[in-house]
């Protein structure tokens, strides 16, 4: 699939995200929108996952579980779940809960939302695959605010110790969290040096650019005997001018006027 095709899918995913969050009148648009290109690239180019029940599929863990709309959107575009669910986000008894629930829909590999836990879950899967001599790969998306959690670094230590070279973490590094900038709340830098200290191979990329992501994943495939983290620089609220780089859109739904403005802007793929 070429980058033009990926761009079309990414635009559709952003429209899905905004429609879900607007309809629910709650949710987390900022960090969902920042991760669109990352998730698009994973699901439509990088990962072996055409059947959510295939034992040989790669696994994806959304550690930043509040970004569930971006994952639901990918599963819709992939055909794993129906787009008829798009208006049910966060509704009572809905399959699309505010955070991913693996018991409700196919394609959710782990129920996440308590920040810091997803990397450990992914490590467990990766280690099990290695012990069983299986070729399945595991990918986990982390928020940059999330890596303030101590459990992340316990998991990082384990992955390095066991040389989990089938494990790839991607940090959605948009620089913002619910209370403001990472640098003001609790600095997370230098992210690369910290992971390297735990035995990881680090790659930096523009997480909102498909060419940059492609180069990052090509480099990732050359790495042996080490887990890999891709530090993907992104823009929170990417694609919606009034949301971009604004911490206030971490967990707020657009009103009717804002929704129409955003959808109008997303009518073009740049």
pLDDT tens sequence across 101-117: 999 999 999 999 999 99
- Give a yes or no: residue 97 inside a domain: yes
For residue 12, the enclosing domain spans 3-265
Look at residue 124 in the predicted model and tell me its pLDDT. Answer: 98
- Give a yes or no: residue 221 inside a domain: yes
pLDDT, mean of residues 79-83: 96
- Give a yes or no: residue 113 inside a domain: yes
- Give a yes or no: residue 171 inside a domain: yes
Provide CB contacts within 8 A for 269, sequence distance 6+.
7, 8, 10, 11
- CB atoms closer than 10 angstroms to residue 258: 18
Look at residue 270 in the predicted model and tell me its pLDDT. Answer: 46
**Number of domains observed in the structure of the chain:** 1
pLDDT tens-digit readout, 46-59: 999 999 999 999 99
Task: Return the CATH number at 74.
Answer: 3.40.50.970
- Give a yes or no: residue 270 inside a domain: no
pLDDT tens-digit readout, 204-220: 999 999 999 999 999 99
- The overall average pLDDT reported for the chain is 96
- Give a yes or no: residue 109 inside a domain: yes
pLDDT, mean of residues 223-250: 97
- Give a yes or no: residue 152 inside a domain: yes
- Give a yes or no: residue 258 inside a domain: yes
Looking at the predicted structure, is the pLDDT value of residue 269 above 80?
no
């Amino acid at each position: 699939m070429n980058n033009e095709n990926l761009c079309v899918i990414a635009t559709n995913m952003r429209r899905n995200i905004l429609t879900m969050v607007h309809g629910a009148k709650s949710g987390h648009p900022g960090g969902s929108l920042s991760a669109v290109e990352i998730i698009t690239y994973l699901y439509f180019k990088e990962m072996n996952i055409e059947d959510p029940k295939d034992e040989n599929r790669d696994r994806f863990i959304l550690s930043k579980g509040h970004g569930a709309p971006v994952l639901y959107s990918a599963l819709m575009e992939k055909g794993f779940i129906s787009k008829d669910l798009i208006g049910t986000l966060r509704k009572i008894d809905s399959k699309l809960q505010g955070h991913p629930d693996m018991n409700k829909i196919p394609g959710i590999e782990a129920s996440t939302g308590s920040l810091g836990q997803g990397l450990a879950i992914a490590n467990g899967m990766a280690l099990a695959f290695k012990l069983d001599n299986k070729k399945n790969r595991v990918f986990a998306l982390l928020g940059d605010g999330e890596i303030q959690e101590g459990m992340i670094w316990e998991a990082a230590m384990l992955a390095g110790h066991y040389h989990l070279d089938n494990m790839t973490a991607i940090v959605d590094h948009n620089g913002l969290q619910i209370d403001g900038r990472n640098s003001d709340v609790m600095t997370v830098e230098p992210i690369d040096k910290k992971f390297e200290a735990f035995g990881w191979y680090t790659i930096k990329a523009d997480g909102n650019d498909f060419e940059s992501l492609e180069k990052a994943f090509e480099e990732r495939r050359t790495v042996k005997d080490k887990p890999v983290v891709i530090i993907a620089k992104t823009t929170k609220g990417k694609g919606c001018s009034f949301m971009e780089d604004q911490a206030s859109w971490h967990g707020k739904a657009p009103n009717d006027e804002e929704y129409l403005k955003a959808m109008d802007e997303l009518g073009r793929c740049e």
